[in-house]
């Protein structure tokens, strides 16, 4: 059997090889330029389902990371505010102890009022324009008392000075961890305002006011209040510690999320990232193939029967 060799047939074969070589050159060039094995899921047909699943997980982890950053910032603000309240309780205790030691109460009322102001400001702290410790009533100032005299004005019910509800914010840190990040002003300050109310009631009573030299009755009362203020400070410190525990837990989970993201990025890279050494070699080989095919095409044109007959 004799195979017929024709000019059109030769042209078709050489042109087909040239186009194929150009396609390989383009693909190799894209790999070198993008450092990827493909441009879309169609180019990763065998691994498309795995890639889709991994990218879905990546997106979910990214949401947890973004949310975690916001929660961390909020917890930091809470920590600073709670510490202000705890420090104020300690400062009231110290002011009373110093008065007992000196035997004078010249500035005791002013000192206690100043610490009350600081504590109330802490409990009325905001984050993102919303009150931190108001529960679900984020637009309502949670503590309304501003002066010692407010605490003894009828009906003088401590609960009435707190406008927060009982809602405590919860947050999901990852797929399996949910924590309560919300803290209520009434949980922070009820005991403190009760102690301040007792102080102001005594100040307005028959054994007050606290001015000048301390009386025996005043000394006895202040001595009895030291343990009360120790308890107030300890209770707020426990809330600070709980907030810190959540912060530490969030840090651990954030580190875990970052490690998982890095692991996923590595797994995705194994599939999508091009082997640059191989890609460069493929590009060089493809360029050589295009040059060779083009040379053959030109040579075929020169050896055409038409050229001989001219």
Output the domain CATH number for residue 254: 1.20.1330.10
- Per-residue pLDDT tens digits for 194-220: 999 999 999 999 999 999 999 999 999
Same-domain status, 258 and 282: no
> What average pLDDT does this structure show over 61-72?
93
Same domain, 109 and 235: yes
Q: What is the largest CA-CA distance in the chain?
A: 135
Residues 160 and 295 in one domain: no
Mean pLDDT of the region 241-263: 93
**Assigned domain for 289 exists:** yes
26: in domain: no
pLDDT value at 22 more than 70: no
Residues 102, 220 within the same domain: yes
pLDDT for 226 equals 98
Q: Are residues 299 and 212 in the same domain?
A: no
Domain count, the chain: 2
- Position 41 scores a pLDDT of 46
> Is residue 230 predicted with pLDDT exceeding 60?
yes
pLDDT bracket for residue 58 (50, 70, 90): confident
Banded model confidence at residue 253, pLDDT cuts 50, 70, 90? very high
Residues 235, 175 contacting (CB under 8 angstroms): no
Residue bearing the bigger pLDDT, 153 or 49 = 153
Between 47-61, 149-163, 248-262, the lowest mean confidence (pLDDT) is in: 47-61
In a domain, 257, yes or no: yes
Highest mean pLDDT among 57-71, 116-130, 252-266, 276-290: 116-130
- The 8-class DSSP code of residue 305 comes to H
Q: Please tell me the least confidently modeled range out of 119-123, 186-190, 300-304.
A: 300-304
DSSP string for 20-88: HHHHHHHHHHHHHHH-BS-SSGGGGGGGHHHHHHHHHHHHHHHHHHHHHHHHHHHHHHHHHHHHHHHHH
- Predicted local confidence at residue 39, as pLDDT: 56
Q: Is the pLDDT of residue 138 over 70?
A: yes
Query: Which tens digit of pLDDT belongs to each residue from 73-102?
Result: 999 999 999 999 999 999 999 999 999 999
Least confident of 55-64, 71-80, 96-105: 55-64
Q: Please enumerate in sequence order all residues whose Cβ is within 8 A of that of 97, keeping only pairs 6 or more positions apart, or say none.
A: 226
Mean pLDDT over 132-151 rounds to 97
Rounded CA separation 310/298 (Å): 18
3-class secondary-structure state, position 12? helix
The verdict on 254 and 144 lying in the same domain is: yes
Is 16 among the domain residues? no
What is the DSSP code (8-state) at residue 251?
Answer: H
**Same structural domain, 174 and 56:** yes
| Cα(77)–Cα(247) distance, integer angstroms | 11
**Tokens read off for 12:** 């078709």
What range does the domain containing 289 cover? 278-310
What's the chain's length in residues? 310
Strand-pair category, 126-127 with 170-174: unpaired
Do 211 and 165 lie in one domain? The reply is yes
Domain presence at residue 89: yes
pTM of the model: 0.74
Q: Is the peptide bond before 209 cis (omega within 30 degrees of 0)?
A: yes
| Domain match, 262 and 283 both | no
1 pLDDT band, cuts 50/70/90, is very low
Residue 53 is predicted with a pLDDT of: 79
By percentage, how much of the chain surpasses pLDDT 90?
A: 63
Inform me whether the pLDDT recorded for 304 exceeds 70. Answer: no
104, 194: one domain: yes
For the chain, percent of residues with pLDDT exceeding 70? 71
Are 156 and 298 found together in one domain?
A: no
Q: Are 44 and 37 spatial neighbours (Cβ–Cβ below 8 Å)?
A: yes
pLDDT for residue 281 is more than 80: no
**Pairing between β-strand 170-174 and β-strand 130-131 as defined by DSSP bridges:** unpaired
User: Can you tell me the mean pLDDT for 7-15?
Assistant: 58
Token pair for residue 210? 């606290």
What span, in angstroms and rounded, lies between the C-alpha atoms of 192 and 187?
A: 10
Averaged pLDDT, 226-249: 97
Q: What angle do CA 209, 212, 218 make, to 5 degrees?
A: 50
Q: Which two tokens stand for residue 38?
A: 């493909």
Looking at the structure, do residues 101 and 202 belong to the same domain, yes or no? yes
């Amino acid at each position: 059997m004799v195979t017929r060799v024709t000019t059109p047939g030769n042209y078709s074969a050489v042109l087909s090889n040239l186009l194929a070589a150009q396609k390989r050159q383009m693909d190799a060039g894209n790999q070198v330029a993008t450092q990827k094995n493909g441009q879309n899921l169609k180019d990763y047909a065998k691994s498309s389902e795995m890639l889709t699943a991994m990218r879905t997980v990546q997106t979910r982890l990214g949401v947890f990371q973004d949310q975690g950053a916001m929660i961390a910032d909020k917890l930091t603000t809470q920590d600073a505010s709670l510490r202000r309240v705890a420090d104020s309780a300690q400062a009231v205790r110290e002011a009373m102890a110093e008065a007992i030691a000196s035997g004078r109460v010249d500035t005791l009322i002013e000192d206690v009022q100043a610490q009350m102001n600081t504590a109330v400001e802490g409990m009325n702290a905001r984050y993102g324009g919303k009150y931190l410790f108001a529960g679900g009533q984020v637009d309502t100032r949670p503590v309304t008392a501003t002066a010692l005299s407010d605490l003894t004005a009828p009906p003088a019910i401590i609960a009435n000075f707190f406008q927060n509800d009982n809602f405590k914010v919860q947050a999901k840190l990852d797929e399996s961890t949910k924590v309560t990040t919300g803290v209520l002003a009434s949980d922070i300050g009820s005991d403190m305002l009760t102690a301040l109310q007792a102080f102001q009631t005594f100040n307005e009573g028959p054994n007050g006011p606290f001015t000048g030299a301390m009386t025996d009755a005043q000394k006895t009362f202040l001595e009895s209040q030291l343990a009360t203020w120790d308890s107030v400070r300890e209770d707020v410190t426990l809330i600070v510690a709980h907030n810190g525990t959540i912060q530490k837990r969030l840090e651990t989970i954030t580190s875990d999320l970052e490690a998982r993201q890095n692991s996923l990025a590595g797994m995705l890279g194994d599939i999508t990232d091009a082997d640059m050494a191989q890609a460069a070699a493929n590009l060089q080989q493809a360029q050589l193939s295009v040059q060779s095919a083009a040379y053959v095409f030109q040579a075929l044109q020169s050896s055409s029967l038409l050229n001989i007959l001219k």
